[in-house]
């Protein structure tokens, strides 16, 4: 019930195919249908955003890009252009448990060839998500350390921004994670920050919850114990829906309690703010009527905010609720609703 992220590894395997495939883009024929103009041509190619405002790598072979190509091939050009709103923005690449080194290398090599920085999400802490929709994680501490080592080897000296363990601190602060696992979790997060921050061109942001489910007074001490002083900053609103203004206000309060650390905001699906019309315990899970938020950028409204990011990949399910597929799986109808509700 606490902001499940989803094991969003649906397209992670493309990394191991090598940068050439990742940079090849998508192709598809234009066509008619869906009410489109008869001789309108739509290209399925996915391009990078301007580096000056949006320096993060756009994966041309992600789920949204594949959906654009499928719609173009089927002549559904109007829907293709809606999904393009997602496909042409950089989104987080959630590294899988199975092949951390190969995936981290593949994504960062592809980003480097495009003269961009990779946005990577690490979500494999033991006892993850307290047994909810995205339960799982590494089998034990040693397995997690080995996984982090693999990620670090894969990144190497290439540019990357890492969002470290969504919900891991929040679930310590709110009591969701059992007391017996707290000491190990702090040790693992400290070790991960040490390993990743030692890389030449990697920035590390430790996840710090969101504006709706905890107060800075309850989470700043756990953040300190997890090693926030050694990280580049923290992330807020990951996979959630709180407004950018509320997220910045929360982040500023928290920053003041952890040495003025900078932070990043996940704006992927916060265009209409949080959903309040249903079961409060699942307002975070595939809520209706949501919209895409501000596009990823380093040009933000506050000097403490290093970037707006799409950490959660819009269109991927939060879990098996409200008719959705398993957490992390692409859900085209939901993606279309997000895009159509956006400006």
Question: If 0-12 CB within 10 Å is exposed, 13-18 middle and 19+ buried, where does residue 198 land?
Answer: exposed
3-class DSSP state of 60: coil
DSSP 8-class letter at 131? G
| Residue 115 known to be catalytic | no
Angle of helix 216-226 versus helix 244-257 axis, rounded to 10: 60
| Residue 246 known to be catalytic | no
What do you get for the CA distance between the two ends of the chain, in Å?
29
**Paired strand residues for 160:** 118, 202
Question: If 0-12 CB within 10 Å is exposed, 13-18 middle and 19+ buried, where does residue 127 land?
Answer: buried
**Paired strand residues for 202:** 160
| Residue 167 known to be catalytic | yes
Longest CA–CA span in the chain (Å) reads: 64
Q: CA 343, CA 330: separation in Å to the nearest integer?
A: 22
3-class DSSP state of 205: strand
Question: Which residues are CB-contacts of 273 (< 8 A; sequence separation ≥ 6)?
Answer: 241, 242, 243, 246
Question: Which residues are CB-contacts of 336 (< 8 A; sequence separation ≥ 6)?
Answer: 79, 82, 83
Q: CA 118, CA 109: separation in Å to the nearest integer?
A: 9
Residue tagged active-site, from 36, 61, 79, 167: 167
Give, in degrees to the nearest 5, the angle at Cα 295 between 125 and 84: 95
Residue tagged active-site, from 207, 246, 306, 318: 318
Residue of 329, 320, 322, 311 lying closest to 288 (CA atoms): 322
3-class DSSP state of 186: helix
Per-residue tokens: 329: 């799986």
Residue tagged active-site, from 36, 79, 129, 306: 129
- The residues annotated with a catalytic role in the active site are 129, 167, 318
């Amino acid at each position: 019930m606490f902001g499940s992220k989803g094991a969003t590894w649906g397209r992670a395997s493309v990394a191991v195919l090598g940068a050439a495939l990742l940079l090849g883009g998508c192709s598809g024929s234009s066509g008619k249908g869906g009410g489109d103009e008869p001789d309108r041509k739509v290209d399925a190619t996915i391009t990078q955003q301007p580096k000056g405002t949006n320096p993060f790598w756009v994966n041309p072979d992600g789920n949204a890009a594949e959906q654009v190509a499928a719609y173009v091939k089927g002549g559904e050009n109007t829907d293709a252009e809606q999904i393009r709103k997602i496909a042409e923005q950089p989104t987080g690449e959630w590294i899988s448990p199975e092949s951390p080194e190969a995936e981290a290398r593949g994504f960062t090599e592809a980003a480097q060839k495009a003269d961009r920085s990779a946005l990577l999400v690490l979500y494999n802490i033991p006892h993850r998500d307290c047994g909810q929709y995205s339960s799982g994680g590494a089998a034990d501490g040693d397995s997690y350390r080995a996984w982090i080592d693999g990620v670090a080897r894969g990144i190497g000296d290439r540019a990357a921004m890492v969002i470290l363990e969504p919900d891991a601190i929040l679930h310590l602060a709110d009591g969701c994670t059992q007391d017996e696992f707290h000491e190990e979790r702090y040790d693992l997060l400290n070790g991960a920050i040490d390993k990743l921050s030692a890389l030449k061109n990697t920035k590390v942001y430790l996840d710090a919850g969101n504006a709706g489910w905890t107060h800075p007074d309850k989470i700043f001490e756990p953040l300190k114990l997890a090693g926030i002083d050694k990280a580049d900053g923290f992330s807020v609103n990951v996979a959630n829906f709180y407004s950018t203004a509320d997220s910045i206000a929360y982040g500023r309060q928290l920053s003041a309690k952890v040495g003025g650390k900078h932070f990043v905001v996940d704006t992927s699906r916060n265009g209409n703010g949080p959903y309040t019309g249903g079961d409060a315990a699942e307002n975070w899970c595939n809520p209706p009527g949501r919209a895409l938020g501000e596009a990823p950028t380093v040009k933000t409204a506050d000097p403490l905010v290093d970037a707006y990011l799409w950490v959660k990949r819009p269109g991927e399910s939060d879990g098996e609720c409200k008719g959705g597929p398993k957490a992390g799986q692409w859900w085209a109808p939901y993606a279309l609703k997000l895009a159509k509700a956006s400006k």
